[in-house]
A and B are shown apart, each in its own frame.
Chain A
Amino acid sequence: MEKKLVIAGFGGQGVMLAGELLAEAAKDEGKFVTFLPSYGPEMRGGTANCDVIVSDKPIASPVIAHPQAAIIMNLPSLDKFEPLMEKDGLLILNKTLIPREVKRTDLRVLQIDAQTVARELGNEKATNMILLGAYAEIEKPVKLESLKNALKHFLTGKKEVLIPLNEKALEKGAEIAREFLGGK
């Protein structure tokens, strides 16, 4: 098993947190994992993306040239990563911010109106967790339970109160993914 995921969006959308959470969960399961952020000089805004590889074996290159899966949170990221995707790759899109359809016909595409769903759950900031939950349900790099358990590493102190919301968002994403899988 080797799962290669790119997460991409604007700075501030929780791209890095989603990637780090997946990495932490994979580590907790005793798997090999690398998390590689692309980093620019800006603190927020700008584009942000990260490569996460989860594997049963030691990982050689941490760089992903052609993703098997991508969580895409905004339009510029779709423009950038759509052409790079591996054939039959999985695209999970934040439909709320992506007004166009995917051009390629050789990809699996799951469009989620994730920001709207997150808002309904109580906080738009949980958009990243909805998309990550959906990814985990489909590709199964780690158990959903492990992602939920890993939240406590990141949401500490004052942020601890956000754990239930993020758990719900992960579950909601998984639920949407199950509908997507079942509908095929």
Chain B
Amino acid sequence: MGEKVLMKGAEAIAEAAIRAGCMAFFGYPITPQNETPEYFSRRMPELGRVFLQAESEVAAINMVYGAACTGTRVITTSSSPGISLMQEGFSYIANSNVGCVVVNAMRGGPGLGDIAPAQADYFQATKGGGHGDYHSIVLAPHTIQETVDLMYDAFDLADKYRIMVVMLVDGLMGQMMEPVEFKEWVDVKKFKTPEWATVGQGDRDHRNIITSLEILPEGLEKMNLALQAKYKKIKENEVRLEEYEMDDAEYALTAFGTVARIAKTVVEMARKDGIKLGLIRPITVWPFPEKEVAKRADQVKFFFDVEMNEGQMLEDVKLAVNGKKPVHYYGRLGGVVPTAEEIYGEFKKLVGGK
């Protein structure tokens, strides 16, 4: 670990990706994350790596797809409307079993929406978005430091499982500044081209073919089953979460990303008033920490889910709790960030009498 530097989230994302060994960036600009491509555009050529601003998001994601087929560490970054345009490519990438990292700095929607921070792309990120039965690993950091640290893991996971990894952040995390420390550079000289990569036949006795196409339904079913087997393995091995002040908690907040950070202040406010409130913060929102949330259903009186959307992760919380305890919800829409005071006020209404 080096010295702490004060950095904007959007720039720290780019620096972390570069240090993690990202060799190519393809993208198309969109607020509130333009500082990320801007940073890449300066640093990547300096390092002899690829920066390319495509003519559209559709082109960008297909360039990512192409680079991923060569086993190269590749990234694109965008924000909600731009991410919508990429969905077809995501689906192709999924069924081609290639790895890449995609950052979504979510903004208010639907439609062109606004440029304020939001979390309304949770469904899109965790339940597919593109067509077909597929998943991406979705990481939801809540501070810039965590985003930076997870970026290394994002590339490792993408390589390990040959899967797309989404870094689900929001405009607030992109725009705010915080001191961050970067881990050591990943030594890219040690990267080996995987044997499945489509980089020319060379001395191999066969051609490598990567495709998401299979005309025969039985064949395609087999491909699907293989995908599902991979997802099962990921679910068993890669779930991550933080449980904050949960040991003795009588009530549990559930939140991810920026809202989880605000929720920590809510927990502190409640604890000051002698109320035993804790926070369950999924770090992987896919795979969702089902078992861990379910376990807490025996302990707490109710769950209180808070999001900057109309209650999207709420559905996963409810599925995990499976009716054992009430799951309440509070949220703000369209790019409005709830304050800790506001959330605590809503929580106290639920607790009642006290």
Contact = CB atoms under 8 A, between A and B. Distances in A.
Contacts of B268: 60
B16 to A, nearest CB: 18
Interface residues of A, number: 18
A63 B170 CA distance: 14
Interface residues of B, number: 22
26 contacts: A20-B6, A24-B6, A27-B179, A32-B179, A33-B6, A34-B176, A35-B6, A35-B176, A35-B178, A36-B175, A37-B175, A37-B176, A39-B115, A41-B31, A60-B261, A60-B262, A60-B268, A61-B261, A61-B264, A61-B339, A61-B340, A63-B337, A63-B340, A65-B339, A65-B341, A65-B342
Interface of A: 20, 23-24, 27, 32-37, 39, 41, 60-63, 65-66
Interface string B257-286: 000011011001000000000000000000
B339 to A, nearest CB: 4
A61 B262 contact: yes
A132 B78 CA distance: 35
Contacts of B339: 61, 63, 65
Interface string B329-354: 00000000101111000000000000
Nearest to A62: B176
Contacts of A61: 261-262, 264-265, 339-340
B141 interface: no
Interface centre among B4, B177, B264, B268 (most CB of A within 10 A): B177
A50 to B, nearest CB: 9
B9 to A, nearest CB: 10
B181 to A, nearest CB: 11
B177 A23 contact: yes
A33 B176 CA distance: 11
A23 B339 CA distance: 22
What 4 pairs across the A-B complex have the smallest Cβ distances?
A60-B264, A65-B339, A35-B177, A60-B265
A37 B339 CA distance: 16
